Structure 1
Amino acid sequence: MSKRLDGKVAVVTGAGRGIGRAYAHALAAEGAKIVVNDLGAAVDGSGREESSAAAVAREIVAGGGQAVADTHSVADFDSAEMIMQTAVSAFGRLDILVANAGNIRMAALHESSRGDWQDVMAVHADGTFNCVRHAAPLMRENGGGTIITTGDLAQGFYYPKLGSYRAAKAAILVVTLYAAHELSQFGINVNSVFPGTTSTRMAEAFFDGLDDKESFYADAKEHFQADSEAAAAEPETVPPIGVYLCTDEGRPITGRSFVMDGPDIGLCTTTSDLSFIAPSTGTWTTEELIARIPEWLTSAGAPAVAATSTHN
């Protein structure tokens, strides 16, 4: 089988396990040389602790591929530059970035600490920006490249204690769309892939952190019109669309967000049909808003969120 990414060099962040590891192996299988970036630790076959990045790089090399490990943090601007320089030092160039590193700190927004909020924004939002910022100039030198971000989709459904995570993912979407516009002139395509429910440590941490799992599952089944609780997909279901976007055939595609549901691929659009109402006299009064807004929201299909007033 021909390897469509022969000669290409890819950086995959958060590649020590889960979806990132699956990306690293999938890209390597198509011939790409991989910089495996992760901060985590793992235990090798002899019981010795090593970086999870080193463990995945070792797996790729054992399978006949080329890979090196990197343990710099995406959350730090200068460290993110060092990740990209690892690719240049080891393999002479950079063609592909999969900005996949992520974390969660589960807490309601009104109970979150400043550190929890900053930790999540630093890895997801800052980390994606930092990596894109330092990867793009190196790709320009080569005449182009591919950037894939890891997004997420709220789908109009409330996931408890994930306010910081959702805010960070929204920032990633904006970074992706802007980078797609700004970098297209340099032959760099930028897209986002939104994993569905996937068997990863982050997903396990979310489900373990739920206060009322039964209510959450019941609400999810009703919202998504599922007959039963769907099993989490394996991480290996996510990378194929990303690998395709790195190929010559996929590189014309940019500024898109692909949503995974197991092996099924959907397309997320950022536009929606807007519904407007006008005041009857040219200027809104509080009385008219009270009379009309609830019915308008219901007819527009807006999700209902009931707040109980505690004011006297």
Structure 2
Amino acid sequence: MDKDKRGYIRYLHNTLGKSISAIARELGIARQTVRRALNEQTNRAKNQRPSKLDPYKKEIKRLLEANPNITNVLILEKIRQLGYEGGRSILGDYLRKLRPKVRESYLPIETMPGEQAQVDWAYAGEIAVGEHKRKLYIFCMILSYSRHFYFEPTVSMKQDIFLACHINAFRFFGGVPKNIVYDNLKSVVLSRLGNDIHYNPSMLDFAAYYGFKLKVCNPRAPHEKGKVERIIAYITNNFMQKEEYHDFKHIRSEALLWLKNTACKRKHSTTGKVPIEEFEKKEKAFLLKLPQKAYDYAAPKVIHPQKDGLFRFDANRYSVP
């Protein structure tokens, strides 16, 4: 029986004074059903026992009106002086209902041209690579001033791929931002205890080679890299939904075309400007120069053949030459 019907039964009985038999005939239901609906109301009333806090609610409201920032602990202390013997949790539940809910808000952080980029990964489902299905990821780097960005699909988030994506982004921009902001990715941070950060040595070496500084967000603070979060949502909701990509080769080629012909030429919703135009006019000249030779990120790995004489690498098997 739905809530509206139970309410109507109680209305007929309590307000209009109709008998259980009369209600049953009028609604075409069993008398036992009518009794059950009325008993539910009685049982709920029995369960709603007076709270130990009830005599003190008027005083609590007065304290909040006098000082909206008064702490729960201080309120508890004051009502205990008046005789309250209940617990802290009852008071806390009641105060949560009284206090206005405050949404966290953040001031937008704007930076100077060439000063900062933000980087992150996103999982994007699966894609065909040859005869196999592989997990698909999106690497993204966005320049904080112009909102000009680079992204590329990958099938791995390993360290060498991570560094290769950076190099591709630097080439795309024609330079290197002075600071790059990351989440606490294992590719960047091996461990962290508060502000004591143990960086990944290979990432430190890479940053030193290109001359940029590593910046990592505070834990559980995604707003500190909000620009890359939003651009990933833009990629996911636009490029990834544009069409069905046949395989990894197809999505890679389409990604670069969409990036150059569509994404970089759109008017940005926050700045109201076209990112590629802002980049060319005001930011590109402030990027650090690229070194003559790209960083050697190759990580040689010894692979031994399995019992069937085949090598296994990145979920694929290869025969011994």
Q: TM-score range, shorter-chain basis?
A: under 0.3
Which has more radius of gyration?
2
TM-score where L is the length of structure 1: 0.24
TM-score by length of 2: 0.23
